[in-house]
Chains A and B, each alone.
Chain A
């Protein structure tokens, strides 16, 4: 084994490279969260989360980001609800069709994957087109519809994965007792994977809260709280984006606070999603 030493050296060299790479990945991600925490948390105070900006979001130095926090929750909440109403029947349909081995399930999954790949700015542009067509101005409603479309593929595909985990024997048992496919879907499949469905909802909600490019066109921006579906609504990502560019440190502090709140929401939501999916694994029959 003359080249034994050389092979060992190569092994060590690449292992070192890998450890460095892993360090870079973990380090950079930690650095980002760290920066947001360090910059954002000092800016957070009671005013920040209980008041709307005074004197304009760009120039006004007083007030907080309540408009953006509530706006984001309304918008992502509404969008998630709408996406849920569309995704659940889709996932159940996919489950029923997969069993009958038709091509329909394949085609629908394919279309959902296509939708998943569409960049959010394109959803924004498309939303703008539709709004011009029906005469809808930038508003909470328009934002909800577009964000729901953006969430649809994420939620439907996650639900699809969850529903697929339900053991076939369980469905067969239900069918052999004389249940229709719809009854099986609703009473057996749905009940069996409730935590998984909730996880899918949370994942989609997280995406909806964080997205900026699609709401830029459709939800608009405002300093006040929306009182109806037809008024524009502020969102946290856009609050960050707009307020970061001002010359005033007080306003920039609002941007950092918004970033901290947004990151916090996302982390809580995804932790909850992970917890739920772990719970799901415990309860399913495998």
Chain B
């Protein structure tokens, strides 16, 4: 490996010398940990590996996803595998998305003091404070799109002085958008009805009745839309 430069990192306060090319997660494994927490998809999708770190000489505490962040010399880090975030129960079928929907389930979002800690912490670079502002105003669709790339790692909630669970509030906004706000899909509804009425049974049975040679012929000559 041409990039095998070794550096020192501090895992839970203890010094280990690791290759500089590794991510934070990989460096823990290089050091000898077998991860059972704080490790999930290893690709930046699941939000399992929220990690707090500080680089020697720097006073600021930073937060990152361990699987998506390279180690730095003198990095002190510790993982935060679980966030006890508030999640009220609701029945998605009993809704009329209204101005007061958020107030009912997540009243604390109105205590936001605009400190922007949530946004500064987000490893996905989302404008978290902005989507909470949308939620406050009942603008569910805007909140949904602004928060769409959220991986629910919980870093926002860990930093919020108002006790907001941003990622759960946004999830409610997205579900309301998907179910109620975006128009219904006509062609989907129609096809489901056709299938339920048995309109496609014959064509499927016909094709299932073909032998492999006939199927191959059909497949190799099927028309493919551009």
B is bound to A:
no
